[in-house]
Amino acid sequence: MKERAYAKINLSLDVVKRRDDGYHELNMIMVPLEFYDVLSMEISDEMSMESNAGYLPKTEKNTIIKAIEVLRKEYGFKENFKIVLQKHIPTQAGLAGGSADAAAAIRLIKRLLKINMSKEKMIELAKKVGADVPFCCINKPALVSGIGEKIIPFEAITDFYVLLVKPYKGVSTKTAFEMLDFETAYHPDCLQMKQALEMGDYEEIIHALGNTLEQPSFKLVPEIAKIKERLIELGMDGVLMSGSGSTVFGLTQSEECLDNAAKEIKKIASFIRKTKIRDKNR
Candidate list 8, 127, 194, 228, residue with the active-site label: 8
Number of other CB atoms surrounding residue 170 within 10 Å: 19
What does the alpha-carbon distance between residue 145 and residue 167 come to, in Å, rounded to a whole number? 28
84 close to 105: Cβ distance less than 8 angstroms: no
Distance of CA 34 to the CA centre of its chain: 12
Confirm whether 189 is a catalytic residue.
no
Neighbours of 135 (CB within 10 A): 28
Catalytic annotation present for 8: yes
Measure Cα distances from 139 to 8, 127, 192, 271, 279 in Å. Answer: 9, 15, 21, 23, 10
- Hey, how many other C-beta atoms are within 10 angstroms of the C-beta on 47? 13
Helix (H) or strand (E) holding 248: strand 248-252
Q: Which of 132, 166, 228, 237 is catalytic?
A: 132
Ranges of beta strands (E only) in 189-235 are 210-211
Helix (H) / strand (E) containing 88 = none
Q: Are 242 and 248 in contact (CB under 8 A)?
A: yes
The catalytic site residues sit at 8, 132
